[in-house]
Amino acid sequence: MCRWLAYSGSPVRLDELLYKPANSLVLQSKHARLGAETTNGDGFGVGWYGDVPTPGVFLSTEPAWNDRNLREIAAQLESGHVFAHIRASTGSAVQKTNCHPFRHGRRLWMHNGLVAGFPAVRRELTLAVDPLVFPEIQGSTDSEILFYLAVTFGLEADPVAAVASEARSRSLFHSVDVSTLRHQYPDNPALHVLSDDARLVVSEPLGELRGAWREVPESTCIVVHGGREELRPFTPVAPAAATADGVN
């Protein structure tokens, strides 16, 4: 399965997230430890938030370990909010439009896993997407369909409820409070460049620092905001059905 990370905190260069950790995301593209596959070489993507309203996205079908442009960009670009994803295809084509993260307005989305039996339900799920956002769908993955279904069913109003279909996601890990780690490891220079509100959510830990990572339980949503994290039950909820007169 794919590997990914989401970072929120003080601005950092992308190479601090993608290349420098002992078990960096780029290293995981070749030698993942916890994924279903060791190699995740079917493309990658990076999304970041900067000074303009719409987040930037860089996608490539190259393996992350072999993309010179990614290394160049990562050494220059700083951001306080970053999504990064390395892809292991579960059957869909290796093409840029199938690389994560996907973008809609201010929202970025990435996914690890697959929808079981997707070919049998693809038509029904696709037709449930709001016609106003349907033209934005560019690729052929179940992940992108899930994103636009979430947009259709209230992502802007309530992101947690809108993505409840992802309740049985793969195990995730989130970083421990930076101030706590700084106290435990005063000689670790990486911890001193991060703000106290910095947090990472990852599909597998980026290093072996004892006590730095906590596993997110299955069927749990983690919400990170302003240095606080909240774990919530993540239970599928069916969207309200339309009545005969078209009113929900």
Catalytic residues: 2
> How many whole angstroms separate alpha carbon 64 and alpha carbon 30?
8
- Per the CB < 8 A criterion, the answer to whether 85 and 134 are in contact is no
> Of 106, 107, 58, nearest to 86 (Cα)?
58
Token duo for residue 167: 């309740």
Classify residue 57 by its DSSP letter: E
> Of 70, 72, 41, nearest to 58 (Cα)?
70
Residue with tokens 């003080």: 10
- Per the CB < 8 A criterion, the answer to whether 203 and 35 are in contact is yes
> Of 161, 149, 174, 197, nearest to 6 (Cα)?
174
> Of 38, 46, 68, nearest to 204 (Cα)?
38
Sign of CA dihedral 38, 39, 40, 46: positive
